[in-house]
Amino acid sequence: MSATRDRLAIALDTGDLSSAVTIAKAVQPHIGIAKVGLQLFSAAGHEAIRAVQDLGMTVFLDVKLHDIPNTVRGASTVLGSLGVRYLTVHAAGGPAMLKAAVEGLNEGADKAGLAAPIALAVTVLTSDPTASAELLNERLNAALVSGCGGIVCAATDLSVIRASAPNIITVVPGIRPAGVPTHDQGRVATPAEAIRDGADVLVIGRAVTNADDPASAAASIAGEVASVLAP
């Protein structure tokens, strides 16, 4: 199941670090990546990253940087030194801003003696059901020319992404097992659907964190993904 764990991220979208660690511990046997989102990072900052790293989980820092290139580069340099594996940046900021993020990540990681994190360009939010294919392609191209190693996209966008950029890492939120409420997500997919369509990493949130038994819910999703990945 190790390959499956590396392809699943738990969204720790809470303002309480203790609750986040409790969830992470519960799902860790089945999910290998912890997404530290804006809410948790705002509440606990670098301590949240260290707490997840202490559990042996890979850190996905989801703060969606979006500002002028100089500011984004400065922030990315700091974040690149923290040992996270992934960092999100809004593709809407354009190629110059995305390139500044990549350069900052490389600089920060290099000074800390670490491997550089993968910059993930956020294309179109999964809560937006109206974005055009033209906008998706524009933001994908911005990610490609700026050197981002991956993108965040909806499962419904994977066919377009894979046709244009077959090797880019695709991180897909909006994952809902069959029968689970979609909440505020406008474009969702089951874990099996997303993997079959070409997703590399699935972000799992309320389907697990709101479950009566998060560990059992995580195990069920991991099993579904493993069945698709099995030769």
Residues noted as catalytic: 64
In DSSP notation, the chain reads: -HHHHTTEEEEE--S-HHHHHHHHHHHTTT--EEEEEHHHHHHHTHHHHHHHHHTTPEEEEEEEE-S-HHHHHHHHHHHTTTT-SEEEEEGGG-HHHHHHHHHHHHHHHHHHT-PPPEEEEE-S-TT-S---HHHHHHHHHHHHHHT-SEEE--GGGHHHHHHH-TTSEEEE--B--TTS--TT-SS-B-HHHHHHTT-SEEEE-HHHHTSSSHHHHHHHHHHHHHHHH--
